[in-house]
């Protein structure tokens, strides 16, 4: 069903599920929640991360289908307070796709603009999936082509120019929407990628597949990549690299992360962020939204966040918290394997081509753009910059009913433990890769309250605990025990809490045993 409202075209869908067309993993429209009613609500300061599962009206979502309109609320808040508004598709969008380039021509309300991108095809006959490389500076293009995808080199500065004052922004986006637009250039860049996808869709898919597009970028273009993937649900795979403040890192964490680029610096260095964000550079707790929800906006589509823990300016610790928080949305949607995060790299050079990322990057491209193989579903968090989600959240992840939003999850969400008459029970969910793992353990009280708990388990030979959050660890290998932290020991009857730990080796087959106090 298509509804036209105030010049916009709104596509009404029954539920926010991952559309599968042939080999592609993406939504069929730019914004599935365009028809959702949005109430602004009041803004209340919150030092911890907002609950991505609680609506603006205070109620919590309970089904997978509920996520569609909850995501729309998050999108509205992200535009209103952080990035500025992303306009609907212009009244006129046209252009061409050839084997070497793409042209984009747009017009709206008597104004027009044009820009272009180059295309580098892999070997084969096509049509090909493609990865938009923002600024020509992102994931290794040779690896992209070797995985069977074309490379679209997109110059974002033609759409949103850097080095301009906020009152006189320049580029194709601002030619249409005005030089004084309050939208920052990150969302202008994202708008440009969306228009490239429009033209690919119109081209008939003889050269590039319209439903198999990815996006990547590094540094400031990494900021653009994650924003682009969050705001266009037609993008099947998002791959930001070392995006730093204004990209993946949680805003609330940046001020406390030593050496990280301050929020005020990211706001003033370039007009990357929307004008409204200027009111929150000294008070991120006042924001009703944070970047873990930006990560969640990508769910359940493919996402591979790559980080560098060696450069403190990049705020990798806060980025890992955003990834862990956003992964809870993936887990609730049954799509745990679709998100990966990797900061465990040896080379600290900014935006270097890294051997550690090659396999998961190519596997992600093959899975989400080509429809073959398995998603990597890995979390490799460097001990140099390992953030604790437990320190930033007071909410728990719900078990959403109504089925999975993922076509092929390979890591199951934490299961609800069987009821126990008294004491406590524990279950564990593993996110494992070759040489390491992250374990999320849920502790649930039985029919009576508990004042404290200890979870014990025996790790396989060669496995060792390297980092723990929301609990204290006793031992690092073999028989290990985890005791509640001061804030999460007391549980009401039937109540639950979670803790986690990262380790080396394999944790396959571990069985947690909970003892209440």
- 196 has pLDDT over 80: yes
- 420 has pLDDT over 70: no
- 134 is written with which tokens? 């923002």
- What is the percent of the chain with per-residue pLDDT over 90, rounded to a whole number? 72
List all residues 6 or more positions away from 387 whose beta carbon is below 8 Å from its beta carbon: 253, 317, 318, 319, 320, 321, 324, 381
Mean pLDDT value across residues 84-99 = 96
Task: Give the pLDDT of residue 440.
Answer: 84
Bond before 196 cis per omega within 30 degrees: no
Tell whether 190 is covered by a domain.
Answer: yes
- Least confident interval from 1-10, 244-253, 486-495: 1-10
Q: Which of 391, 416, 434 is the last residue of a domain?
A: 391
Mean pLDDT value across residues 68-85 = 97
Q: Which domain holds residue 147?
A: 92-391
Residues 428, 386 within the same domain: no
Residues 368, 232 within the same domain: yes
C-alpha–C-alpha distance, residues 295 and 299, integer Å: 7
Nearest Cα to Cα of residue 75 among 107, 24, 116, 38 = 38
16 within 8 A of 65, measured Cβ to Cβ: yes
* Digit-coded pLDDT (tens) for 444-477: 988 889 999 999 999 999 999 988 877 889 888 9
pLDDT tier at 16, thresholds 50, 70, 90 = very low
pLDDT tier at 168, thresholds 50, 70, 90 = very high
C-alpha–C-alpha distance, residues 369 and 348, integer Å: 29
**CATH number of the structural domain spanning residue 301:** 3.40.50.1820
Q: Which of 349, 374, 391 is the last residue of a domain?
A: 391
Residues 385, 435 within the same domain: no
Tell whether 289 is covered by a domain.
Answer: yes
| 442: β partners | 427, 498
Task: Give the pLDDT of residue 283.
Answer: 96
CA dihedral 221, 373, 406, 241 (to 10 degrees): -10
Residues 298, 351 within the same domain: yes
Is residue 487 part of the annotated active site? The answer reads no
Mean pLDDT value across residues 200-204 = 94
Residues 326, 455 within the same domain: no
- As for how many domains the chain has, the answer is 2
Nearest Cα to Cα of residue 18 among 210, 302, 327, 227 = 302
Q: What is the reported pTM?
A: 0.79
Catalytic residue among 219, 319, 320, 340: 219
**CATH number of the structural domain spanning residue 504:** 2.60.40.290
Task: Give the pLDDT of residue 403.
Answer: 67
Residues 484, 387 within the same domain: no
- 427 has pLDDT over 70: yes
pLDDT tier at 11, thresholds 50, 70, 90 = very low
Classify 219 as helix, strand or coil.
coil
Residues 326, 229 within the same domain: yes
Tell whether 346 is covered by a domain.
Answer: yes
- 361 has pLDDT over 50: yes
Tell whether 205 is covered by a domain.
Answer: yes
pLDDT tier at 413, thresholds 50, 70, 90 = very low
pLDDT tier at 5, thresholds 50, 70, 90 = very low
Q: Which of 368, 391, 414 is the last residue of a domain?
A: 391
Residues 496, 370 within the same domain: no
- 18 has pLDDT over 90: no
* Digit-coded pLDDT (tens) for 313-326: 999 999 999 999 99
Mean pLDDT value across residues 214-236 = 98
Nearest Cα to Cα of residue 86 among 226, 212, 228 = 228
Residues 236, 294 within the same domain: yes
Residues 175, 317 within the same domain: yes
Residues 113, 249 within the same domain: yes
CA dihedral 289, 290, 291, 293 (to 10 degrees): -50
- 236 has pLDDT over 80: yes
Is residue 292 part of the annotated active site? The answer reads no
- 415 has pLDDT over 60: no
- 282 has pLDDT over 70: yes
Query: In this structure, are strands 339-342 and 302-306 parallel, antiparallel, or unpaired?
Result: parallel
- What is the percent of the chain with per-residue pLDDT over 70, rounded to a whole number? 91
Residues 366, 442 within the same domain: no
Catalytic residue among 350, 388, 456, 476: 350
Tell whether 58 is covered by a domain.
Answer: no
Tell whether 362 is covered by a domain.
Answer: yes
Tell whether 443 is covered by a domain.
Answer: yes
Tell whether 411 is covered by a domain.
Answer: no
């Amino acid at each position: 069903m298509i509804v036209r409202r105030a010049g916009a075209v709104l596509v009404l869908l029954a539920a926010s599920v991952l559309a599968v067309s042939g080999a592609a993993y993406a939504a069929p429209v730019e914004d599935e929640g365009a028809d959702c009613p949005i109430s602004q609500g009041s803004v209340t300061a919150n030092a911890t991360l907002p609950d991505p599962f609680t609506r603006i009206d205070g109620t919590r979502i309970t089904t997978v289908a509920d996520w569609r309109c909850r995501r729309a609320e998050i999108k509205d808040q992200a535009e209103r307070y952080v990035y500025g508004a992303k306009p609907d598709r212009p009244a006129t969008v046209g252009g061409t796709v050839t084997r070497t380039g793409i042209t984009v021509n747009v017009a709206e309300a008597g104004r027009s603009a044009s820009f272009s991108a180059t295309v580098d095809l892999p070997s084969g006959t096509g049509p090909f999936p493609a990865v938009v490389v923002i600024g020509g500076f992102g994931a290794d293009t040779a690896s992209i082509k070797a995985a069977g995808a074309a490379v679209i080199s997109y110059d974002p500065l033609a759409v949103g120019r850097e080095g301009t004052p906020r009152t006189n922004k320049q580029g194709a986006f601002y030619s249409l929407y005005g030089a004084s637009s309050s939208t920052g250039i990150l969302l202008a860049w994202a708008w440009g990628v969306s228009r490239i996808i429009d033209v690919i869709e119109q081209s008939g898919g003889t050269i590039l597949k319209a439903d198999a597009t990815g996006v990547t970028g590094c540094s400031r273009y990494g900021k653009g990549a994650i924003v682009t993937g969050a705001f266009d649900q037609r993008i099947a795979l998002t791959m930001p690299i070392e995006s730093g403040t204004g990209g993946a890192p949680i805003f609330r964490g940046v001020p406390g992360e030593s050496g990280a680029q301050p929020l005020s610096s990211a706001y003033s260095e370039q007009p990357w962020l929307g004008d409204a964000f200027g009111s929150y550079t000294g008070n991120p707790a006042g924001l009703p939204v944070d970047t873990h929800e930006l990560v969640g906006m990508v769910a359940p589509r493919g996402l591979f966040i790559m980080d560098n823990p060696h450069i403190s300016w990049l705020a990798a610790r806060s980025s890992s918290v955003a990834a862990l928080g956003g992964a809870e949305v993936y887990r609730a949607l049954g799509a745990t394997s679709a998100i990966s995060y990797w900061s465990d790299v040896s080379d600290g050079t900014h935006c270097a081509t890294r051997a550690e990322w090659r396999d998961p990057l190519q596997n992600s491209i093959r899975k989400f753009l080509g429809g073959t193989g398995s998603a990597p579903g890995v979390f490799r968090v460097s001990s140099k910059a390992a953030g604790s989600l437990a320190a930033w959240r007071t909410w728990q992840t719900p078990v959403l009913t109504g089925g999975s939003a993922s076509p092929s999850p390979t890591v199951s969400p934490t299961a609800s433990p069987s009821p126990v008459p008294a004491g406590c029970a524990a279950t564990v969910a593993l996110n494992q890769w070759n040489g390491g793992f992250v374990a999320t353990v849920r502790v649930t009280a039985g029919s009576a309250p508990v004042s404290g708990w200890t979870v014990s388990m025996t790790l396989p030979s060669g496995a060792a605990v390297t980092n723990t959050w929301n609990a204290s660890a006793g031992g690092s290998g073999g028989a290990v025990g985890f005791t509640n932290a001061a804030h999460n020991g007391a549980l009401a009857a039937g109540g639950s809490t979670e803790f986690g730990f990262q380790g080396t080796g394999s944790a396959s087959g571990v069985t947690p045993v909970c003892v209440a106090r």
